[in-house]
Amino acid sequence: MAADADRPMLLTNIGELTTNVAVDGDPCGTLRDAAVLVHDGLIAWTGSADAVPPSPDALVVDAGGRAVIPGFVDSHTHLVFGGDRAEEFAARMAGERYAAGGIRTTVAATRAASDDDLRDRLAALVAECRAQGTTTVEIKTGYGLDVATERRLARLAAEVTDEVTFLGAHVVAPEYADRADEYVSLVTGVMLATVAPHARWIDVFCEDGAFTAEQSRRVLAAGRAAGLGIRVHGNQLGFGDGVGLAVELGAAAVDHCTYLADADVAALAASDTVATLLPGVEFSTRQPYPDARRLLDAGVTVALASDCNPGSSYTSSMPLMIALAVREMGMTPSEAVWAATAGGARALRRTDVGVVAPGARADLVLLDAPTRVHLAYRPGVPLVRRVWKDGRQLPGSGTAQGQPTMRALANPPVW
């Protein structure tokens, strides 16, 4: 049941409410026997279910003692692409080593795909994200690597999210093999000028096999001059310059962070750059998992994201990221849920999502569980019962306890 546009909604009888408004040493700001009042798509009030302010016109939704969390904020995805790389995955599982060059396979398929093909794939993946509780998603370009296709990818991504990232510097385009500096000039010139009107962020893959620190600096500086925020792919395949460059330039986030020197951890801890960990990549590539415990103990802000892409992490499931982070990366369930909600919001420099607090967007997830711990405790089980975005229940949201499955929408609304 969806709330009327002008009608308040009272979600009550919540067994455990995760607000992410820190209190008494609890970063999750946990409230029990709680209620949430929603009006005009925003959180109007939170508190005890027996202290709800007068709201006679509100649509009342009984949570039945279940847990409610903020909608997941997936701050790193690549949802616009063509083709399939299942054979590459099978080869890795048979022992082949992951390398950045596989991206070029997707580039060829994406360039050949029509707008309708790309839009249909994107709609299906957006539907997957929603059904699993994701209410805010960042989407990168990077599978075009030419001016026309990068513009197409950014335009299509902007149809479904405000968080579009220009990643023309994903790898060097095949037609510029052995001419990386020339390709960087293309990225920082006409490609950037063409894509920037559709994007909020610029990103670069600062890694062996992709771009050097100096090339990455050129890309990020050009993006900043064009008014875009800065993000970095770094330290995924080995120790490198990505983290240091991200911190030096004040990037909102540096993503992957699989291989970190002590100096990298210290630099992150002294900055406001978020370390976004992507455990789906390690699951799919058999790389070592990042040490989240080391980062958290040093005081680094950590986010979790899916990195949904066809090559190294073809999953849109934020609950899976939480389970992997707890099992493999040293996080507690509460830390992982915070990282997948409030942490993702910080990685996007957003204060209106990832929290359940007055004035924030009413992006809420009702779990078919008494506590958020079940997201790690019951991996692989569809615990998302209902999802609200801006106070409206998403059509068909939730698969738990007989809820209908989500169908792909031809024109999904903007996140």
- Contacting residues for 180 by C-beta, under 8 A, at least 6 apart: 172, 211, 212, 215
As a whole number of angstroms, the distance between CA 345 and CA 361 comes to: 12
Name the strand (E) or helix (H) holding 138. Answer: strand 134-140
Show binding-site residues for 4-imidazolone-5-propanoate: 85, 143, 170, 236, 312
**Tally of residues, the chain:** 415
Residue burial 135-153, b: 16+ Cβ < 10 Å; e: rest: bbbbbbbbbbbbbebbbbb
As a whole number of angstroms, the distance between CA 203 and CA 232 comes to: 5
The token pair that represents 108 in the structure block: 């060829």
Contact 293, 332 (CB under 8 A): no
Helices (H), 258-369: 262-269, 279-285, 292-298, 318-328, 333-338, 344-347
Q: Which residue in 67, 134, 140, 138 sits closest to 110, CA to CA?
A: 140
Show binding-site residues for Fe(3+): 76, 78, 233, 307
CA dihedral for 307, 308, 313, 316, sign (positive or negative): positive
Residue burial 25-52, b: 16+ Cβ < 10 Å; e: rest: eebbbbbeebbbbbbebbbbbbbebeeb
- Contacting residues for 30 by C-beta, under 8 A, at least 6 apart: 16, 17, 18, 19
Show binding-site residues for N-formimidoyl-L-glutamate: 143, 309, 311
Show binding-site residues for Zn(2+): 76, 78, 233, 307
Q: Which residue in 243, 250, 241, 261 sits closest to 223, CA to CA?
A: 250
Show binding-site residues: 76, 78, 85, 143, 170, 233, 236, 307, 309, 311-312
- Please give the backbone phi and psi of residue 151, each rounded to the nearest 5 degrees, phi first: -65, -45
Contact 356, 43 (CB under 8 A): yes
The token pair that represents 107 in the structure block: 């580039």
Residue at token pair 């970095």: 232
- Please give the backbone phi and psi of residue 292, each rounded to the nearest 5 degrees, phi first: -65, -35
As a whole number of angstroms, the distance between CA 406 and CA 397 comes to: 6
Q: Which residue in 131, 141, 135 sits closest to 79, CA to CA?
A: 141
